[in-house]
Structure 1
Amino acid sequence: AVDAATKVVALETLFYPPRVIDVLPFFRLVPVWNSGISFGMLQDAGVYAPLILGGFAVIVGLALPYYTKAWGRAGRLGGQMMAGGAFGNALDRLIYGRVVDFIDLYAGQWHWPAFNVADTAITIGAGLILLSTLGNKTGKDRPEGDSNR
């Protein structure tokens, strides 16, 4: 819901007519249509890319909650964040044929590729899953006599 709401606001304030809003010395809001995947990768993948990428996002979004059941609270939250982000960007592909990106972080002339709230959820979710799989050992995974829980 937050992703969809921010995209509606971005479309209304940044895209029509196109404009840039400087927020902080390293952060601005920009209008970017992304036909690739996260952070602008695969921009020139062809006309069927939005359908393929959107379908893949839906499959991942449906599968992640199933696979995260054994990952503890952080892993489950990460899976839910990734699924929500995947669905948010898949919805853009369904409606617009591409994804609405509008967050631009930069330092001097160096710019991170524009992204959106869904991309942020996907990235944070992946980090939570990684942390939960590295740091959340079940009792049967621990060496015998290890009392750390």
Structure 2
Amino acid sequence: MPNSQAKKGLFQFYPHNLLWLGLSVLAIVLDQWTKWIASTHLNYADPIPVLPFLNWTLLHNYGAAFSFLSDAGGWQRYFFTSLAGVVSIIFVFWLMRMPKKMVILPMAIALILGGAIGNLIDRVSLGYVVDFIHVYYQNSHFPAFNLADSAITLGTILLLIDTFFLEKKRNQNADA
């Protein structure tokens, strides 16, 4: 009979973390759905005003976040595809091994994972990432982005909060 208190091995997961994988899947589905809507209803590079600071503008991003390396000659597609694939695999293993009491860290990982896979799907199937959210103020424009980018950004913020504020508290509680 297996000891339930035994240390989990590399490929042993906590079933409660399927909820966090569900959050990743939700991020992927919402991202792909909104990109499909943008691709089928917007004309390329033709802004549609939504609010005084927001346009829907369909753009194709051949680089990374915020069009980083978008004009690098094509190698970046393979680099970012490989990077997203490796990071996604690592994050799935990391996420599935989270203790039940943790909330912020697995939520962060789930959002980053969902965003990475959402953009990975675009890169593999289209060769570029569909961006359509364009925020600006007067003549200052933020690079266009999508829901996957938003999930990655929110996940990163949560990861930083966990790292700088909650991890120290967990370590203090473990030492007590």
Cα distance change, pair 140–11 in 1 and its aligned pair in 2 (3 A): closer
Paired residues of 1:65 and 1:76 also in contact (CA < 8 A): no
TM-score computed with the length of structure 1 as normaliser: 0.87
* Residue 34 of structure 2 is aligned to residue 9 of structure 1: no
Give deviations 1:57-78, integer Å, cap 9, x for gaps.
1111121243352692111011
Give the corresponding residue for 1:101. Answer: 131
Give the corresponding residue for 1:45. Answer: 72
Partner-residue secondary structure (3-state), 2:73: coil
The CA deviation at 1:48 is: 2.2
Counterpart CA distance in 2 for 1:138 and 1:4 is 37
Counterpart CA distance in 2 for 1:93 and 1:141 is 39
Larger deviation: 61-70 or 120-129?
A: 61-70
**1:114 pairs with one of 124, 144, 156:** 144
Counterpart CA distance in 1 for 2:171 and 2:122 is 41
Give the corresponding residue for 1:92. Answer: 122
The one-letter amino acid paired with 2:84 is A
The one-letter amino acid paired with 2:74 is V
TM-score computed with the length of structure 2 as normaliser: 0.75
Instruction: Tell me which stretches of 4 or more aligned residues in structure 1 moved more than 6 Å.
Output: 143-146
Could you tell me which runs of 5 or more consecutive residues in structure 1 were left unpaired when the two chains were aligned: none
Counterpart CA distance in 2 for 1:104 and 1:139 is 38
User: What is the count of residue pairs matched by the alignment?
Assistant: 145
The CA deviation at 1:139 is: 6.5
Percent identical pairs in the alignment equals 33
* Residue 90 of structure 2 is aligned to residue 63 of structure 1: yes
Q: CA RMSD in A?
A: 2.3
Give the corresponding residue for 2:3. Answer: none
The one-letter amino acid paired with 1:62 is I
Counterpart CA distance in 1 for 2:175 and 2:120 is 47
Give deviations 1:61-107, integer Å, cap 9, x for gaps.
12124335269211101101101100110110111100000000000
Counterpart CA distance in 1 for 2:91 and 2:38 is 28
Counterpart CA distance in 2 for 1:136 and 1:76 is 13
Cα distance change, pair 93–135 in 1 and its aligned pair in 2 (3 A): same
The one-letter amino acid paired with 2:43 is F
Give deviations 1:12-69, integer Å, cap 9, x for gaps.
11136x5321000000100111000011111122222112101111111121243352
